[in-house]
Amino acid sequence: MATNKRKRAAAESLIFLLVIAAIVVVVNLIGFFTPMGHADLTRNKAYSLASSSKALVAGLKDRMQITAYFTQNLPPPFNRTEREVVDMLSEYERASHGNVVVHVVHPDTDALRTEAQADGVQPQVHQVLKNDAVTAVEGYRGLVIRYLGDKQTIPAIQSTSGLEYKITMAIKQLLGKKTAVGVLTGHEGPTLDKGLSSLRVALPTYDLQPVDATKPIDQKLEAVLIVGPETPLSADELKNLDIYVMNGGSLGIFGGDVKLDLQGGNPSATLHDSGLDGLINNWGVNLDKDLVYDALCTRVPMRGPMGIQIATPYPPMPIVNIDPAAAKNPVVFEIPTILMPFTSSITLQSAPAGAHVTVLASSSKSSWKVTDPTVTLEARRPDEWSPTSDRGPFPLLVAIEGELPSGTAQAGVPPKAKAPVRVLVSGSSALLRDEFLPHGNDVQGGNAALALNAVDWLAAEKDLVAIRAKSVDDPNLNIPTAVKVARDKQDAALQTGDQAAAIKAREQGESAIERWHARQGRFRWLNTLGLPIAVALFGVIRWRLRKRRRVTL
């Protein structure tokens, strides 16, 4: 009798396992062949299209053809790229209700290779290790998008990171609708032709136009940008900008009271009065005439003893953590840190009724203000930077929203905005300048993403921010403070020629790194073995319980 019960229990267990296995297989098949089975659990939805990308292709009125050229059997890491790209294109295809057609071409003949190059997809050289020798192999990995007789090409795909943004931007360009944004001219600062050319390239779906604020500003412009003016704005210019905002326009101010000279071997900054405070004071903010230095900063190369290049801290370029309370704002969405080179501080005043002022980024507690009229910006030893008594944190990036009052209160200016408007104030003009904005359409860095997010937010194109957020690099693992402190001590000792102190600091740093690596190793093993061990323990406990029940029977 007991034997029959054991056989029945074993048969039931086997049937149960077979049913579970069948369910798993069916679920996987559904997930592979249909969109309803896809689940993207990544933090920034890296493996699914943003709603704005889907809406864009859903509104197509005609057929769009996307041709993907991929050489088969490419070496790592490109051997998986074709599958990942085709999966992404399939989502565009499904969202378009049949208007997007995807073709995958493997250019393995001379005719197909000629076709790929004629479409603008160029061969890429790949290094292959074979038989202990490195050989160069040419291969293709690019896209061509055709619509109504026009085409856009992505000549080489490095990875799927940022690819959705590039594809969606290419589609928007083919649809031909561009958003008009103005850039203030006439004040010796950077212009669209010189100093802001990278911004124009990075925003292919925008029509960036020069704006002369001595005349009434066209309200058809979705936003106006003021970038680093080096001479004061006149009362008439401030009035016309005020009228533009009161009639619903958005305004972005990037720097204003710092004149930068970054050419040559002696970079410097000169403080001056741009006059912009005469516009923005009534909106609850003030651009201070200073430079903010921060001990939490980037590093730049400096010649040390015996001509050795040493990466030394450079306080004029603070590394700024985004305020967690503001992390949902589209300007800084999914951006953990940014670099704010040569920035002024912003003083907050009482926000006007109906307006909301949000601090998006601030310097650290280790920052200080420099108010000298002219400041040299050459790299120097850490002990040569002299912090002042005016210590941070200081607001560096502020967003203003709401029905603002007139900034100038001049005759002929509406007393209040006709509808909620947007104003962005940055203490740094460098965010948009060619020296700091990557060339081309590479938006995979925090600063580049922030610059473009700012324009999107001002121009009410916030849907693009969600797509670009997938392109932002994941933040690096936080390096322990002990390692950073030891590294700074070593740099300072090397620059002063104190070899004994440098050796001691290096040993302290190495010890801290060893402890850090050991801690990482423990977490890695816990992550690798923790779940299997937990499952095994569960199995042992269940087996003992079943054995005890059988003994009881």
> Does 2 have pLDDT greater than 60?
no
Mean pLDDT of the region 221-243: 97
pLDDT of residue 187: 94
Q: Is 44 exposed, middle or buried (0-12, 13-18, 19+ CB in 10 A)?
A: middle
Q: How many other C-beta atoms lie within 10 A of the C-beta of residue 135?
A: 11
Confidence of residue 462 (pLDDT cuts 50, 70, 90): low
Confidence of residue 408 (pLDDT cuts 50, 70, 90): very high
Confidence of residue 470 (pLDDT cuts 50, 70, 90): low
pTM, entire model: 0.71
Can you read off the two tokens belonging to residue 104?
A: 């995958």
- Before 77, cis peptide (omega within 30)? yes
- Residue closest to 408 by CA, chosen among 245, 203, 186: 245
> Does 46 have pLDDT greater than 80?
no
Can you read off the two tokens belonging to residue 170?
A: 């290419």
DSSP state, residue 326: G
**344 φ, ψ to 5°?**
-95, 160
Task: Give how far Cα 62 sits from Cα of 55, 91, 322, Å.
Answer: 15, 18, 42
| pLDDT tens readout for residues 150-180 | 999 999 998 888 899 889 989 999 998 889 9
Confidence of residue 336 (pLDDT cuts 50, 70, 90): confident
Task: Give how far Cα 260 sits from Cα of 183, 293, 346, 385, Å.
Answer: 19, 15, 18, 19
CB 450 within 8 A of CB 331: yes
Domain boundaries, the chain: 2-37, 51-172, 179-469, 481-538
Strand partners, 514: none
147-156, 180-189, 484-493: least confidently modelled range: 484-493
CB 130 within 8 A of CB 411: no
- Before 393, cis peptide (omega within 30)? yes
| pLDDT tens readout for residues 9-26 | 566 666 665 666 667 666
Strand partners, 388: none
Confidence of residue 105 (pLDDT cuts 50, 70, 90): very high
Mean pLDDT of the region 93-121: 95
| pLDDT tens readout for residues 83-92 | 999 999 999 9
- Residue closest to 486 by CA, chosen among 516, 455, 457: 516
pLDDT of residue 270: 95
pLDDT of residue 460: 83
| pLDDT tens readout for residues 276-335 | 999 999 999 999 999 999 999 999 988 776 667 888 999 999 999 887 888 888 899 888
3-17, 126-140, 198-212, 327-341: least confidently modelled range: 3-17
CATH 3.90.550 is held by the domain 179-469: no
pLDDT over 90, % of the chain? 54
> Does 250 have pLDDT greater than 90?
yes
CB 252 within 8 A of CB 458: yes
Q: What contacts 339, CB < 8 A, 6 or more positions away?
A: 298, 317, 318, 319, 320, 436, 446, 447
DSSP assignment string, 36-89: GG----STT-TTS--HHHHHHHHT-SS-EEEEEEE-TTPPTTTTTHHHHHHHHH
Question: 51-172 maps to which CATH number?
Answer: 3.40.30.10
Query: Across all residues in the chain, what is the average pLDDT?
Result: 84
- In 322-433 the beta strands, taken as DSSP E runs, fall at 337-339, 346-348, 355-362, 367-370, 374-376, 395-402, 421-426
Confidence of residue 254 (pLDDT cuts 50, 70, 90): very high
**128 φ, ψ to 5°?**
-125, 130
Strand partners, 124: 139
pLDDT of residue 437: 84
How far is it, in rounded angstroms, from Cα 501 to Cα 312?
Answer: 17
pLDDT of residue 29: 58
Can you read off the two tokens belonging to residue 198?
A: 């990278």
Strand partners, 286: 347
